[in-house]
Amino acid sequence: MNLYNNKTRILLILDLLKNKTDDEHVIKASELIECIQNEGLKCDRKTLYDDIKSLNDAGFDIIHEAGGGYKLVSREFEDAELRLLADAVYSSKFISAGKTKILAGKLKEQTSTYMASTMIRNIYSSDSKTPNEDVLYNVDTLSRAIQDEKKVEFEYLVWGPDKKLITKGAKKRVLSPWSLIWQDQNYYLLAYDSEAGKMKHFRVDKMRHVLETDAGRDGDKEYQKLDISSYVEETFSMYGGKQETVILDFPEELIGIAYDRFGIDVTQRKGDKGRIIIRTKCYVSNQFYGWLSGLGPDVKLSGPDSAVKEYKEYLKSLLDNL
């Protein structure tokens, strides 16, 4: 008896059942035998029955339908779970297009070919996916550094007016990582900047060459007194109010702020004297006006007229309360 061939045959049967069957599709015994023999392995009906019994005894739920065939009815992931995971991968902005394709392919391997062919239908794929292929590895490195309580170093890129990250002259930073924040379909690192003496946040998809150092991190007191929920709400929230298409006027050197907030799929055109005009949908509220006013006088709200009027009233209310 060739034990190697027996194991190979059983694994092949399991692989065929995973790929060619599901709740609605079966594979006949004759087809299984033919596929196995095509791989140069010996197989007859008795051998097949014995192998399927061994798989069932090992915990795989394989059902034989009278007059039909065999099907594998239990898997690690249910179809609905795989669809949910595929939706998340395809719509996530922080996962690059290349990595999306790889992850989607791995998800499809968890189900039958029939289910895999329908898994990406009716899924919206974000047009503003990051061009950075290393985001997932960055998240892993940062997570380990947080657990090890070590500082990290990385180069932080900035957006150019052509909606591409500028790598030339990227500034190297050494910071103390404390938490990863998932907000608005982006990953952010919350880290303590020893030179500035305060907590800051950074987009993970704008980092490259992320490394964990041997130095212990700083900022314990600052992190302990920080309310993460309030920080996230105050820093990232622009929800509430009504959604409108707004027109914003940015100096070219600040356009990266718009890309960070609204994504790189915003509609834009060149304005006068090195300025860029963008159109984008957002929730117009006091949170939005607060974010806008924090950018200073160089960033202007140009429309719609109703939002411009509300913004002026918001600014006036701030002055009245001084």
Q: CB atoms < 10 A from the CB of 320, how many?
A: 7
Answer CATH for 242-320 from 3.20.20.140, 3.40.47.10, 3.40.50.300, 3.30.70.240: 3.30.70.240
User: Quick one: fold of 135-236?
Assistant: SH3 type barrels. (2.30.30)
Collapsing DSSP states into helix, strand and coil, what is residue 119? coil
* Residues facing 139 on adjacent strands: none
Q: Is the pLDDT of residue 105 over 90?
A: no
Contacts 24+ apart (CB under 8 A), 261-267: 261/291, 263/93, 263/126, 263/127, 263/128, 264/128, 264/159, 264/163, 265/126, 265/127, 265/128
| Residue 2: per-residue pLDDT | 58
pLDDT bracket for residue 70 (50, 70, 90): very high
- What's at 26, amino acid-wise? V
Q: At what angle do helices 305-320 and 286-294 cross, to 10 degrees?
A: 80
Q: Rg of the chain over CA atoms, in angstroms?
A: 27
Q: Is the pLDDT of residue 128 over 70?
A: no
The whole-model pTM stands at: 0.60
Q: Is the pLDDT of residue 121 over 70?
A: no
Question: What is the separation of C-alpha 241 from the centre of its chain, rounded to a whole number of angstroms?
Answer: 27
Question: What is the separation of C-alpha 71 from the centre of its chain, rounded to a whole number of angstroms?
Answer: 33
In the chain, where the domains are located: 3-72, 77-129, 135-236, 242-320
What is the rounded average pLDDT for all residues in the chain?
Answer: 86
**Cβ–Cβ under 8 Å, residues 241 and 292:** no
| Residue 1: per-residue pLDDT | 45
Rounded average pLDDT over 70-98: 80
3-72: which CATH architecture? Orthogonal Bundle (1.10)
| Residue 122: per-residue pLDDT | 46
Q: Is the peptide bond before 304 cis (omega within 30 degrees of 0)?
A: yes
Q: Tell me how far CA of residue 275 lies from CA of 166, 249, 251, 253, 260, in angstroms.
A: 18, 7, 4, 8, 17
DSSP E strands in the chain: the ranges are 62-64, 70-72, 150-159, 165-183, 186-193, 198-203, 207-216, 242-251, 267-270, 275-284, 300-303
- For residue range 282-321, list pLDDT tens digits in order: 888 888 898 999 999 999 999 999 999 999 999 999 888 7
